[in-house]
Amino acid sequence: MFKNNKKVDLYILASILFGAKTYMVYRFFFTINLENFMQELILLINPFVTAFLVFGLSVWLKESKQLRFIRYANLIGTLILYCNLLYYRNFGDFITLPVLFQGSNAGDLGASTFASLRLQDLLIFIDLVLIWRLTRKNRTDLTVSFVSKKKKLVLSISILMLLGNYILAEIERPQLLQRGFDREYLVKNIGLFNFHIYDIFQQSHSQAQRVFADGNQLYDIVTYVKENTTDQEKNEYFGIAEGKNVIVISLESVQSFVINNTLYGEEITPFLNQLVEESFYFENFYHQTEQGKTSDHEFIIENSLYPLPSGAAYFTHSSNTYMATPEILGNEGYTSAVFHANTGSFWNRNNMYATIGIDHFYDIEAYEVNDLNSVGWGLKDKEFFEQSMKYLLNLPEPYYTRFITLTNHHPFELDEEDATIGQYHSNSRTLNRYFQTVRYLDESVEQFFNQLKESGIYEDSIIILLGDHYGISDFHNRSMAMYLDKDEITPYDHIQLQRVPLFIHIPGLEGETISDIAGQIDIKPTLLYLLGIDDSNDLSFGTSLFAPNRKEFVALRDGSFITDELIFTKDIYYNRLTGEEILNLNEALDDESELIIPDELVKLNEQVELELTYSDQIIYGDLFRFYNFEK
């Protein structure tokens, strides 16, 4: 077909064919969830951008090598695409470096790969065959047509196109590369091949940090932890829930300000308000999450370690050694399970859960999800709890379970028939709607409690409910200030808005409202304490909320911290109870007057910094692999 045309732009032909094929696989072979036009557009553009970039490199080669480059690039690209497809059919996920190096996984893969072959897969190889035929040795009539002068032009166009793709992806998902989110998000925004490059870069970066770490670093950390957070005095609460089932409910995006509060005279969370009366309710409990949001809260409560300053540890350090709650409880005869009606790979949960010893993960596959029973991010919470019951009832006791809710997630969408409270009226649609989804969550939890009671599970369980992180960001501060009846949201208010509710509900015990400061980092030691499990060999940065001798501060990931008397943030010390400024380091410095910071404060700041650094060192260096938790 190219007989009369001596020089064919083979690399352009190859790019178009390969791009079209990749798009076909993305769109019709993988089940990638596309939510809007922008995502459709990016998915369409990206395969061509990448193909053009790769095949366009051929113009830099000597003519004799160009054809060979194009055929092998096509072969390798096709294989990568196809291997991912086969893996995806088995695991609903894309291949990552750690997966390639996990022997056991490969074994599973071999067995089921054969079963996942489909006739339609032949389509993936058509362009490969064509390109190979066109580039046979004896075909001298074909080559890459650009003369050397235009090399730079080709490369510049490729890079510009790649940049364009990246900008679109950033618009669609800000901070996509820094935060990771979900492999599906990455693939749909930057494409499979760029995702692999991203993955290789990220994994080698953490591997390098791991390789250069050594066990000696642990010595100081262990000393610090033993001195500051271990050896908790035992009181009557130690072991008070021994042998009970544990049910942890993560209240997506619920902040404390909605509890015992009203909207136009109406209670926002009637059920939770009643639960305050029947539980240990911590009114000064802070979330400590960073970019990893929900996954960070999971990471903190299971490990009593801080989340990373950037990125999600669930993503970047899922192959580390940990000694998380599920594993500790597993050693005590507990079965563990997480229920969450979202894709298993979101926040890399499927891999992280395997690492931290969660026995069962009921992800979206375990639920019946359709248009009628879902809204916003997916399955409605009432449906979620309802459908979870059958699995819960079949778990061997005692169990440790976590339920992660979803409906009260930004942008807080709700079907009209599910709204039982009005909206707020302000300039922020987000805040306006928030109250409705919070109310829906309140009702979902009530329904779940009723089901637990009806099925007899309730009596033998302790139930912990906590907010995972804020729901209303600073972007809505003006409307928030209006709702809270304040002139503005100061840095002090911002910190106080990072309070999320924590309920520890122990059937049979009266409970009380506790005003002591607390953080998500305290959940693991608290739970072990209540279950009567000795954790003196554990390395945690939190302390039991029931122990009489607690650590004196709650550190947030950005270095802000809270003590009984103070809140420190943005270089300002505030009185925690009144919000009054005590010492403003910014102003003092501007004055150029000599700044005298009380020793006590200096020491506190140092300790917070040290603690965050130690926690990071553990994660970056995978230091727990050097620690013997048994001794």
Minimum CB distance to ligand GP9 smaller for 294 or for 540 = 294
Nearest to 379 by CA among 366, 389, 360: 366
Instruction: Name the minimum Å distance from CB 179 to Mn ion.
Output: 13
468 among the known binding-site residues? Answer: yes
Q: What is the residue-wise DSSP string for 227-278?
A: HHTSSPPP-TTTTTTTT-EEEEEEETT--GGGTT-EETTEES-HHHHHHHHT
Minimum CB distance to ligand GP9 smaller for 69 or for 440 = 440
* Distance from C-alpha of 16 to C-alpha of 131, rounded to nearest angstrom: 12
401 among the known binding-site residues? Answer: no
Under the criterion CB under 6 A, does residue 244 sit at the interface with ligand GP9? Answer: no
Instruction: Name the minimum Å distance from CB 376 to ligand GP9.
Output: 10
Contacted entry of ligand GP9, Mn ion, none for residue 93, CB cut-off 5 to 8 Å set by kind: none
* Distance from C-alpha of 407 to C-alpha of 410, rounded to nearest angstrom: 9
Q: Are 280 and 464 in contact (CB under 8 A)?
A: no
Torsion sign, CA atoms 328, 334, 339, 342:
positive
What is the H or E stretch that residue 574 is in?
A: strand 572-575
Catalytic residue among 22, 135, 143, 294: 294
294 among the known binding-site residues? Answer: yes
Of 25-33, 43-51, 292-300, 447-455: span binding Mn ion (CB under 5 A): 292-300
294 assigned to active site: yes
Q: Are 589 and 498 in contact (CB under 8 A)?
A: no
Q: Compute how many other C-beta atoms are within 10 angstroms of the C-beta atom of residue 323.
A: 21
Nearest to 337 by CA among 396, 409, 386: 396
Cis amide bond preceding 326, omega within 30: no
Instruction: Name the minimum Å distance from CB 290 to ligand GP9.
Output: 11
Under the criterion CB under 6 A, does residue 437 sit at the interface with ligand GP9? Answer: no
Binding mask 331-350 toward ligand GP9 (x if CB under 6 A, else -) reads: -----------x---x----
Q: Are 74 and 127 in contact (CB under 8 A)?
A: yes
410 among the known binding-site residues? Answer: no
Of 460-468, 506-514, 533-541, 591-599: span binding Mn ion (CB under 5 A): 460-468
Under the criterion CB under 5 A, does residue 468 sit at the interface with Mn ion? Answer: yes
Q: What is the CA radius of gyration of the chain?
A: 28
* Distance from C-alpha of 165 to C-alpha of 49, rounded to nearest angstrom: 8
Of 23-31, 43-51, 197-205, 401-409: span binding ligand GP9 (CB under 6 A): 401-409
Binding mask 289-328 toward ligand GP9 (x if CB under 6 A, else -) reads: ----xx----------------------------------
630 among the known binding-site residues? Answer: no
Minimum CB distance to Mn ion smaller for 56 or for 344 = 344
Of 11-19, 117-125, 139-147, 403-411: span binding ligand GP9 (CB under 6 A): 403-411
The correct pick among 294, 295, 343, 437 for binding Mn ion (CB under 5 A) is 294
Residue found under tokens 């390098």: 208
Burial class (CB in 10 A: 0-12, 13-18, 19+), 492: buried
Residues annotated within the binding site for substrate are: 409
Residues annotated within the binding site for Mn(2+) are: 252, 294, 468-469
User: What does the binding site for ligand GP9 look like in residue numbers (CB under 6 A)?
Assistant: 293-294, 342, 346, 404, 406, 409
User: What does the binding site for Mn ion look like in residue numbers (CB under 5 A)?
Assistant: 252, 293-294, 468
* Residues designated catalytic: 294
